[in-house]
Structure 1
């Protein structure tokens, strides 16, 4: 059996002035649509904070000086959107901004194909949403105060 690759990823808990979280709806052909936050894989030799800033800009068009603080870490085994089985090493960063409409001009080809919607969610909406949210403990991450 092949060993899973460790996939380092930076994730952003992007909050607006109304305490809403921005999530992205992905609709791959081979599985049920799901929602997750902004973020993605670190480039080789890129640290997590730099990856968070880059991914935030690429996926939403928002530029920030720093993405911080790091509020949580998690690991999980799953299949990427490309179908690769990986073990994730994810770091979560909290960013607060004014509500805006994301600019998708920096999206990759696979993002243009699979991303169907951006939406600002209240905590009540997250608690009762009808489609899968990732990570499943997203409400706990919103309440995180210190790195885990």
Structure 2
């Protein structure tokens, strides 16, 4: 059984109901040539909760600040290959965060993020549904719609 990699992922939603995604493109290593769109987020630090990691990752990857991220809207577990080649069991909790605008910042990005992220874009649900590129998770548009319904007070 591979080791677990715990991560918090963020559905960052603008006032115009658009979702922030990063296009990841690996230039070297075992994943060289691999490209996909994904939400901001990342690995939990030692003894950090999923919620605390989500708040931290939100700031580090987008510049948006929030005191809390609310409840987890999705939990996913799947086998994943890391850029160094290691296979892990990815355990990810997804949180929806609504922003006051679309002005994100990459000032806090790590060197690794600067190397791997080749594009940042806000997506509507319609644009995401029509996307022919790889998007992770594969049911991201469903999660996005769920987050929008939750924001409107629907279950």
TM (norm. structure 1) is 0.91
Name the Cα RMSD after superposition.
1.3
- The CA distance in 2 between the partners of 1:112 and 1:139, in whole Å, is 25
Measure how far apart 1:67 and its partner are. Answer: 1.1
Contact 1:11–1:91 under 8 Å retained in 2: yes
- Summarize the Cα distance change of 1:115–1:123 in structure 2 as closer, same or farther, 3 Å threshold: same
Deviations 1:107-133 (A, max 9, x none): 111101111111100011111113111
Residue correspondences, number:
143
| Kept after mapping to 1: 8 A contact 2:64/2:99 | no
* Cα distance between partner residues in 1 of 2:103 and 2:83: 24
Aligned match of 1:41: 43
2:6 alignment partner, one of 2, 5, 8: 8
Moved over 3 A (4+): none
TM-score, reference length from structure 2: 0.87
Q: Which structure shows the higher helix fraction?
A: 2
**Do the aligned partners of 2:125 and 2:145 also contact (CA within 8 Å) in 1?**
no
Q: Deviations over 1:40-66 (max 9, x none)?
A: 000010000000000000001111111
Gaps of 5+ in 1: none
